[in-house]
A and B are shown apart, each in its own frame.
Chain A
Amino acid sequence: MSRDALMLDESTLKGRYMNSLGDLSLSVSTGELLKDVVESSAAAKRQSVPELGDQAKVRIHDSSLPNATMIIKDKIGNEEERKAITMKRYSMVSRSNPNHFDRYGFKKQTAYVTEVEYDHWWDYYSTYCYRRKQKWERLFTQLGLPVDDAPTSFPSRGEKLKRYVRKGIPAEWRGNAWWHFARGDEKLSKNKGVYDKLLLQLKHVHERKDFEVIERDLYRTFPDNIHFYKEPFQNEDPHMIQSLRRILRAFSIYDENIGYCQSLNFIAGLLLLFMDEEKAFWMLVIITKQYLPKVHSMDLEGVNIDQGVLVLCIKQYLPDIWREIETSYVTHNAAPSNIHNEYLYRLPPITLSTASWFMSCFIGVVPIETTLRIWDCLFYEKSHILFKISLGLLKLSEDELLGKKHINAKQANSFFGSETTIEQAYSQEDRDILMFQVIQTFPRKLIDPNELFDRILSKNRIPLNKMGQEEIDRCRKYVAGQRNKLRYFDGALAGSTVGLSSNKGIFLEDEAVNEILLSELFDYDKNSFSGISWNNRLKERVRRMKLKK
């Protein structure tokens, strides 16, 4: 079988692989593969098959060449690479030149970052990681904590540890560190044997709507990661896929309020790369209960609330971006109403993008090393960090987002020196598209986490860094309350033809609705986040009523 493939001449191979590149299920960078294939065919024709140590056996998935094995010459042929090729975890993966994958098995190249860019950045970032690890080790030694490959005790909480976490936990320690900061042991000790029981239970549960969706998502979780990839010649699912299936199914019967929600597959999948299955399961429980409450529930109300909070944060900390969002919102609401805070209920469309930031905790939103740095902070600092990161990303992309870059470029090319404003240069619809495009693509290109952490999050003078967990929790309560009221008055909202509530018959003046909504105020300015403060006018009225009594 391999003979046939090897006897094909160069041009046939070239043609075949050029045409079928779209079908190569684990596509490596095009040029490389082609070169490899061509080289090996040339080598085979010369019949000068080199020593096995200098080659990598690679299977090629091609319907016209079932089970073809290609012997591909190892171009570099160095010791390290050969070792990596023979490593067990790579052994089942076809065409896998380990150079194409990062340290967690993700393909380096994405739609937004080339492998060359990755390698270039990794040159710098790997030394940064090494330096950080040494600092961690020194800290541990100073504190008399044991340092090994997988430490289980960590320093007690404090500014210093927070700073260390912000700068990144060593990759090898991550699983244990996350588990520790999220108090996984506490959870597990209260629930000994529960996961095993759930797995037993699963044996009797077969047909479930959630299972169908889970099944469809297993291979759509990390198709770019070698541990989650199934070769055409493999009969069984890879271990990672099997674990992922068990965790997601077990979770769907464990938490009936959530069941299975798309995006949990990403969270569980990433956890599995850093810890064993049972721990990953309990981390998933902790994340969905404590860190992101109701974010994955049936009605996704938690994520809607968080988007409302994010919108309020943008309004407070990034006023220029807020102005743009508001203009767009008013333009597109066919019949603008005068209802206070309506945008907390009918969220601005950009929240469709940002919702996924929260639901999948930035997995797939930013490149993997950046995701992991966010996760380090998440388990140490809790969910407010997700808001800070979101604001940070928007802040970093502000010039692009507001079209300033385009305008500057335009002005440089123009003969007239007069100032052009964005309103003059672009129509509202063009600006909407631009805003969406930037929000969607900018984070995906952010390969270097330090761009975000050093330039935004470590700068005390940037106001958004003053935000804390308590403020976010208060703001969540506020938005939840406003959304409840707005939902209730939905039938009365102008421009809406369909009410979600049953009170369509009652018609309320905007003013009356507003008074009820304004009975609660969320005030950022006073005393740096005074939280919910009562409208003084109403307070006064209540006071007088009491006095009369």
Chain B
Amino acid sequence: MSSKKKTILKVIILGDSGVGKTSLMHRYVNDKYSQQYKATIGADFLTKEINVDGDRTATMQVWDTAGQERFQSLGVAFYRGADCCVLVYDVTNTKSFENIKSWRDEFLVHANVSSPESFPFVILGNKIDIEETKKVISVKSAQDLAKSLGNIPLFLTSAKSSINVDPAFEEIARSALQQNQNDADAFEEDFNDAINIQLDGEADSCAC
């Protein structure tokens, strides 16, 4: 075994029931689509090995969650340690779009992240394969929302027709990796600070 610690990226997918969270996860991880997915109860996860910086690999752990509101009371301890949060809406469902902000807030409340302003989110507008007339969320309003929530990257996707799923997850991986490294650096800094404080203390006592 290599002595270098393997990087594990924890990604959580949130969004209203039926927007396509399970489909997106399967499309990305297995490159498969089926109309036979059942409603998700609790949470499911899949992992995928990804390449970062050319030669290094990392394990991406993708968590698919239940969309019905009440299931949020199950997820309390589990948002912790996430490296990126994916917010999904359905381009043919207004409600799911309007709820994006509350999903983000809900996540931040429970995830206990160190700096909420810089925590990476990615928004996916799914089901763009569906005919134009049924779409109710314009690209403009999606862009406006993404901007207002702090310039969150936005991707319009179709898990069914495999449109834009890979680019979206590449971005997710990139920002998760960034977050993961930031956290690791912060941890190291804390560690160094602790030592410094002790040294300062000794110096002070000498000066007395």
Chain A residues contacting B59 (CB-CB under 8 Å) are 433
CA distance A287 to B134 in the complex (A): 39
Does A223 count as interface, using CB distance less than 8 angstroms?
yes
Does B191 count as interface, using CB distance less than 8 angstroms?
no
Q: Please state if A347 and B80 are interface contacts (CB–CB under 8 Å).
A: no
Q: Please state if B78 and A356 are interface contacts (CB–CB under 8 Å).
A: no
CA distance A357 to B72 in the complex (A): 17
Does B153 count as interface, using CB distance less than 8 angstroms?
no
A204-257 residues with Cβ-Cβ distance < 8 A to B are 213, 216-217, 220-224
Does A468 count as interface, using CB distance less than 8 angstroms?
no
B1-53 residues with Cβ-Cβ distance < 8 A to A are 1, 5-6, 8, 17-18, 32-39, 41-45, 47
Q: Please state if A213 and B6 are interface contacts (CB–CB under 8 Å).
A: no
Does A272 count as interface, using CB distance less than 8 angstroms?
no
Does B102 count as interface, using CB distance less than 8 angstroms?
no
Q: Please state if A304 and B41 are interface contacts (CB–CB under 8 Å).
A: no
B54-83 residues with Cβ-Cβ distance < 8 A to A are 59, 61, 66, 68, 70-71, 73-78, 80-81
B105-151 residues with Cβ-Cβ distance < 8 A to A are 109-110, 112
Chain B residues contacting A440 (CB-CB under 8 Å) are 44-45
Minimal beta-carbon separation of A104 from chain B (angstroms): 16
Does A460 count as interface, using CB distance less than 8 angstroms?
no
CA distance A22 to B26 in the complex (A): 12
Q: Please state if A299 and B41 are interface contacts (CB–CB under 8 Å).
A: no
Q: Given known contacts A334-B112, A364-B38, is B74 in contact with A433 (CB within 8 Å)?
A: no
Q: Given known contacts A300-B71, A433-B8, is B17 in contact with A213 (CB within 8 Å)?
A: yes
A-B contacts counted at CB < 8 A amount to 107
CA distance A261 to B42 in the complex (A): 12
B63 nearest CB neighbor, chain A only: A352
Q: Please state if A497 and B70 are interface contacts (CB–CB under 8 Å).
A: no
Q: Please state if A22 and B34 are interface contacts (CB–CB under 8 Å).
A: yes
Chain A residues contacting B33 (CB-CB under 8 Å) are 22
Centre residue among A220, A221, A346, A354 by max chain B CB count within 10 A: A220
B128-183 residues with Cβ-Cβ distance < 8 A to A are none
CA distance A353 to B70 in the complex (A): 16
A13-39 residues with Cβ-Cβ distance < 8 A to B are 22, 25, 27
Q: Please state if A216 and B18 are interface contacts (CB–CB under 8 Å).
A: yes
Does A99 count as interface, using CB distance less than 8 angstroms?
no
Does A298 count as interface, using CB distance less than 8 angstroms?
yes
Chain A window 330-356, contacts with chain B (Cβ cutoff 8 Å), 1 for yes, 0 for no: 001110000000000011110111111
Chain B residues contacting A497 (CB-CB under 8 Å) are 112
Q: Please state if B47 and A433 are interface contacts (CB–CB under 8 Å).
A: yes
Q: Please state if B32 and A22 are interface contacts (CB–CB under 8 Å).
A: yes
Minimal beta-carbon separation of A278 from chain B (angstroms): 24
Q: Please state if A213 and B80 are interface contacts (CB–CB under 8 Å).
A: no
Chain B residues contacting A356 (CB-CB under 8 Å) are 41-42
Minimal beta-carbon separation of B128 from chain A (angstroms): 17
Chain A residues contacting B38 (CB-CB under 8 Å) are 220-223, 266, 364
Chain A residues contacting B5 (CB-CB under 8 Å) are 427
Centre residue among A27, A298, A300 by max chain B CB count within 10 A: A300
CA distance A498 to B105 in the complex (A): 13
Minimal beta-carbon separation of B40 from chain A (angstroms): 8
A409-461 residues with Cβ-Cβ distance < 8 A to B are 425, 427, 429-430, 433, 436-437, 440
Minimal beta-carbon separation of A89 from chain B (angstroms): 19
Does A359 count as interface, using CB distance less than 8 angstroms?
yes
Centre residue among A217, A351, A429, A430 by max chain B CB count within 10 A: A429
A355 nearest CB neighbor, chain B only: B42
B38 nearest CB neighbor, chain A only: A220
Chain A residues contacting B76 (CB-CB under 8 Å) are 346-347
Chain B residues contacting A303 (CB-CB under 8 Å) are 74
Minimal beta-carbon separation of B186 from chain A (angstroms): 12
Does A263 count as interface, using CB distance less than 8 angstroms?
yes
Q: Please state if A498 and B109 are interface contacts (CB–CB under 8 Å).
A: yes
Chain A residues contacting B81 (CB-CB under 8 Å) are 332
Chain A residues contacting B44 (CB-CB under 8 Å) are 353, 440
A299-316 residues with Cβ-Cβ distance < 8 A to B are 299-301, 303-304
CA distance A333 to B76 in the complex (A): 12
Chain A window 492-524, contacts with chain B (Cβ cutoff 8 Å), 1 for yes, 0 for no: 000111100000000000000000000000000
CA distance A332 to B76 in the complex (A): 13
Chain B residues contacting A213 (CB-CB under 8 Å) are 17-18, 68
CA distance A47 to B3 in the complex (A): 68
CA distance A300 to B76 in the complex (A): 12
A365 nearest CB neighbor, chain B only: B41
CA distance A223 to B32 in the complex (A): 16
Chain B residues contacting A86 (CB-CB under 8 Å) are none
CA distance A301 to B18 in the complex (A): 24
CA distance A177 to B42 in the complex (A): 30
Does A262 count as interface, using CB distance less than 8 angstroms?
yes
Option from B42, B68, B71, B109 in Cβ contact (under 8 Å) with A353: B42
CA distance A430 to B59 in the complex (A): 10
CA distance A27 to B34 in the complex (A): 9
Q: Please state if A223 and B36 are interface contacts (CB–CB under 8 Å).
A: yes
Q: Please state if B66 and A262 are interface contacts (CB–CB under 8 Å).
A: yes
Does A265 count as interface, using CB distance less than 8 angstroms?
yes
Q: Given known contacts A430-B6, A440-B44, is B39 in contact with A221 (CB within 8 Å)?
A: yes
Chain A residues contacting B32 (CB-CB under 8 Å) are 22
Q: Please state if A360 and B109 are interface contacts (CB–CB under 8 Å).
A: no
A500 nearest CB neighbor, chain B only: B76
CA distance A222 to B38 in the complex (A): 7
Q: Please state if B17 and A216 are interface contacts (CB–CB under 8 Å).
A: yes
CA distance A348 to B43 in the complex (A): 13
A497 nearest CB neighbor, chain B only: B112
CA distance A224 to B75 in the complex (A): 28
Q: Please state if B8 and A429 are interface contacts (CB–CB under 8 Å).
A: yes
Q: Given known contacts A216-B18, A298-B70, A433-B61, is B77 in contact with A359 (CB within 8 Å)?
A: no
Chain B residues contacting A25 (CB-CB under 8 Å) are 35-36
> Lowest 9 A-B CB distances belong to which pairs?
A356-B42, A356-B41, A223-B36, A216-B18, A352-B43, A349-B78, A346-B77, A220-B39, A355-B42
Can you list 27 A-B contacts with CB-CB less than 8 angstroms, sorted by A residue number?
A: A25-B36, A27-B34, A216-B18, A217-B17, A217-B39, A220-B39, A262-B41, A263-B41, A266-B41, A299-B70, A300-B70, A300-B71, A300-B74, A332-B81, A349-B78, A351-B74, A352-B75, A352-B78, A353-B43, A364-B41, A427-B5, A429-B8, A430-B6, A433-B61, A436-B45, A440-B45, A495-B112
Apart from A27-B36, A348-B77, A353-B43, 10 more pairs, CB < 8 Å:
A213-B18, A220-B37, A220-B39, A262-B17, A332-B80, A333-B77, A346-B76, A352-B42, A359-B41, A430-B8
